Amino acid sequence: MNAALRPSVHLCIVQPVGYVHAMALLDAALYFRHQFAALGAQVTIAKNRLRTDAPNLVFGAHLGFDPALTRTFCCLFVNLEQLGAGGSRVPPAYLELLRTSHVIDYDRANPDAYAREAETPLIAFGHAPYLAPAAVLPLDQRPFDLLFFGSMNARRKDLIDRIEKAGRTVVVFDGPVYGPERDAFIVQSRAVLNCHHYDSAVFEQVRAFQVLSLGTPLVSERTPRTRPGSAYEHTVNWFDAGSLEAFFTATYAGPDFVRRAEGQLRAFRGVDPREQYAAALDYALAAQGAARSIISAPPNPQRLLHIGSGKDYRPGWLNVDIQESAQPDIVADLSGDLAWPAQYHSPYWGRVQLQAGASDLIFANNVLEHVPDLPRLMRNCLDLLRVGGRMVIEVPYEHSHGAWQDPTHVRAMNERSWLYYTDWFWYLGWFEFRFQVRESKWLDERLAACAKANAAFMSVTLEKVPTTIAERMTARTMRPDFGGLLEPVAAAPGPQTAAPAIAPAEADGVPATALRAI
């Protein structure tokens, strides 16, 4: 298929900064990418980032998602939570988001929990050939007996204790482990143990397909409420809590377990729910087509500008960073010599133009201490803000350990570090506009407000304001060229005419009568 004709789909994984458990969403997202790519789509995948030119399938919106983003981006929400009675206690805002949005789900009982009136496409997870290990260790030679991974609760701990009393050894991680580090343990395990976390007992398909695709048997608890689906009915080793001891002392320990498990793994390699993903892809593209009539006005991402975004990408903002490895919306050095408008291409927003006076808010989180030419950065930020626009800054306090622990810091900052951008603006060659401190507070290491003695950071809010006549007089007085008045003026061609009289305009809130008095 011609690349230009291939539909584009974007997969977005929601991850609050530093929240490691969001990595569990990656398994499902990679499987979606595999299926959609096999159907001919051009698939991109990113953390927290949305695209304006493709339908966005969002994984993990229960962790926090601003519904206002759906007015700018075409979003479909992939629900992987167990909802309803006995299930996960998700925020009410998440259920409302599902009720009012396009949703793709994996369990037919979930849509009742968010009262969907429209039909919700259902998908299943099958064999993932990209997970096949290069070399497979025979099951009877693997060093780990049973492996359990996932969040622990009293219910799961009770079952694991009973299994170990039945003579088996269960390996449990002492912290969150995902991705290749977890998979390295899976391929060394004789089997992976699956125990239901919630009373709803919905079968954990994402865990199951990952384990089976890696060539490791899955041993799973089953209750009368468990609905595994046809793909897993005969490819998983089932036990119930009532006969747990008998299963692990006889069936699991018996001579036929390995032979049966190897047959189950071979059978699972044939599980491919491609038709369900074709329907989901059509659903996403139709949603994008419908969204075009709603998202008609081109967005102005510069209105909310996040500079030095790094690991703290903010959806809905224009995220700018000097390093391409941070995957910002645009790569730019705002401490450079820039002219407005400045043109950029963003993989998420498309064509972006930075214009003077077009930003309402600029956020700079632990950025200023890294910038060699800070006056140039501050001047560019002043230019980009509209009058009344604000710049919110967080920096380490000079007396904290964080001021100099980073080898890339070039300065330490204190409460007087803003003086040249506010009162002494003329030192920097500024004339018509300056900053004014609107708010300043001390923050502790957890970014909570605190007393100065306990400060690890400072938070300062600066507002762009026009200079007053008195401030301009000070600037002209302090500058050797009287604020640009000594620059040569080219002679006008032709006969000279008298300069028009300057009307006594009411500038800077000063009445005309007052100007005449001056």
| pLDDT score at 214 | 98
Distance of CA 220 to the CA centre of its chain: 33
Extract the residue ranges of the chain whose pLDDT is less than 50: 499, 501-518
Q: Which residues, at least 6 apart from 158, have a Cβ–Cβ distance to it below 8 Å?
A: none
Q: How far apart are CA 236 and CA 240, in angstroms?
A: 13
Q: How far apart are CA 223 and CA 472, in angstroms?
A: 78
What DSSP string describes 228-294? --HHHHTTSEEE-GGGHHHIIIIITTSTTHHHHHHHHHHHHTT---HHHHHHHHHHHHHHHHHHTTT
Task: Give, in degrees to the nearest 5, the angle at Cα 388 between 383 and 393.
Answer: 70
Give 191's Cβ-side CA count (13 Å radius).
Answer: 24
| pLDDT score at 515 | 41
Cis peptide before 180 (omega within 30 of 0): no
Model confidence, pTM: 0.87
